[in-house]
Amino acid sequence: MKLGIVGLPNVGKSTLFNAITNAGAESANYPFCTIDPNVGTVAVPDERLDFLAELYNPKKYTPAVVEFVDIAGLVKGASKGEGLGNKFLSNIRATDAIVHVVRCFDDDNVIHVEGGCDPLRDIDIINLELIMADMEMLERRIDRAKKAAKGGDKKFLHEAEVLERLMAHLDSGKSARSCPCSDEDRELIAESELLTLKPVIYAANMDEAGFAAGFESSEYYRRVEKFASDEGSLVLPICAKVEQEIGELDEEDRQMFLEELGMTESGLDRLIKCSYSLLGLISFLTCGPDEVRAWTIRKGSRAPQAAGKIHTDFERGFIRAEIVAFDDLKACGSMNAAKEKGLVRSEGKEYIMRDGDVTLFRFNV
């Protein structure tokens, strides 16, 4: 899973990236301190995998990972190449989802490129640049479809019609992901890899005082929350400064710090859970003395598809999957005990995987 962290300059984007990845991206009080995308890979915290590691004491422990890409700050006119616009747009195209950091605090000591804090204005600036970039791409695709349809080809006539309808939707200032259309037409639209098709998490970055007071008390946060709800996106209240402090602590001190703040999870944990939910992802687990590992798949994947995540031969020669729910395995204390109680099931090709399935695939090629 690859998430692009975006936002206007000086909204806390790189501070948040540093905090969650400990990758040390430069953070400074001026635009464009992040010129090339900084990439950080973090392990997905999973207590289930920790339990399996204690059970098997394996040679290798492999959690699922999330790749975060800190992308250069955007300004007005990026779709026309202003600032670092072209770099921004090409880097964001390669991500699965967008984490849009929105400043939700006032601070005269931190320059705002637009002169002051206004979360919805800031969101509109970035969304408009993405929409304009998408419209430019659509124009080219519509031209190609119309040229191909000159002989009366119904397929290309339909494509041009669908894309022109989408163009009108974008022209009204709305994102491609909010365009009403059939599943078939949505697949056609998806071929264009439009920026505004990507799902979004709005990270409402608050200052320490506002976050401690409770994010619901912030007028700025409530505006972002309503905006996200109206467009079907997710919103995550966060304080990049606090996350930075958490990231510098060892595990024991981190837990104490979280407790003092009245938090049960760090912003990273909450962001990862939010991302899995947004993208419709789950994890299944494999275990043994050689390795315990978490594998990320789409919700709704069948057993052979999950097997293919491990190796294409597993999918090609799939026979069956031996599965036990993690909670059942934990309650029993061992795989043998789970088998004795009849909790280890044999599932075939039509089985739809569930989050936390502890799985052994049988295959033959």
Percent of the chain with pLDDT over 70: 90
pTM: 0.82
Measured CA angle at 96 (ends 91, 100), to 5 deg:
70
What are the φ and ψ backbone dihedral angles of 18, each rounded to 5 degrees?
A: -55, -45
Which pLDDT does position 32 carry in this prediction?
44
CA distance 22 to 11: 18
CB atoms within 10 A of CB 106: 12
Task: For residue 28, name the pLDDT band (cuts at 50, 70, 90).
Answer: very low
Task: For residue 77, name the pLDDT band (cuts at 50, 70, 90).
Answer: low
CA dihedral 235, 241, 247, 251 (to 10 degrees): -90
Alpha-carbon distance values, 328 to 69, 144, 250 (Å):
37, 55, 32
Sign of CA dihedral 47, 48, 53, 54: positive
Q: Which residue has the higher pLDDT, 32 or 157?
A: 157
Encode pLDDT of 94-110 as tens digits.
899 999 999 998 887 77
Rg for the chain, CA atoms, rounded: 23
